[in-house]
Amino acid sequence: MVNRKQAFGKVGESVAVQYLKKQGYKIIEKNYRTKVGEIDIIAKEKGSLVFVEVKTRRSRSFGSPKWAITPQKKRNLSKAALYYLKTTDQSGADARFDVVSILADEDGMEIELIRNAFDLAYP
């Protein structure tokens, strides 16, 4: 059963997919899960493989959604991305991490795309 927070996150991911498509991204995978982590969206954009993390919030009470990506989250995303690259035989691919930050409050929806948001964070 999906709780309210998870349902809100899924709505944010759907909004992000539509937004990325309008920006010229080709969506390859959604909710890619491995034993080492999950990647919200995997896409292609201008020859690059893009691992996209989506952060959605209802208010700015805890700051912008984009600041919710902790060092641990970056490590887990990096591990999942490396796993994806290895298992799909794309280890030499040009790849990067993007973030889609969505603020959905009573004033409407604010979407921000941060390209190349962080570097590979794998010890």
The pLDDT value given to residue 41: 97
Residues paired with 108 in a beta bridge: 105
What's the rounded Cα separation, in Å, for the pair 84 and 36?
11
Residues paired with 102 in a beta bridge: 56, 111
Per-residue pLDDT of 29-54, as tens digits, reads 999 999 988 999 999 999 999 999 99
44: containing domain: 4-118
Domain-located, residue 123: no
DSSP SS3 for 91? coil
- The pTM of the full predicted model, rounded to 2 decimals, is 0.88
Domain-located, residue 52: yes
Whole-number Cα distances in Å, 15 to 19, 75, 78, 103, 113 = 6, 25, 23, 11, 12
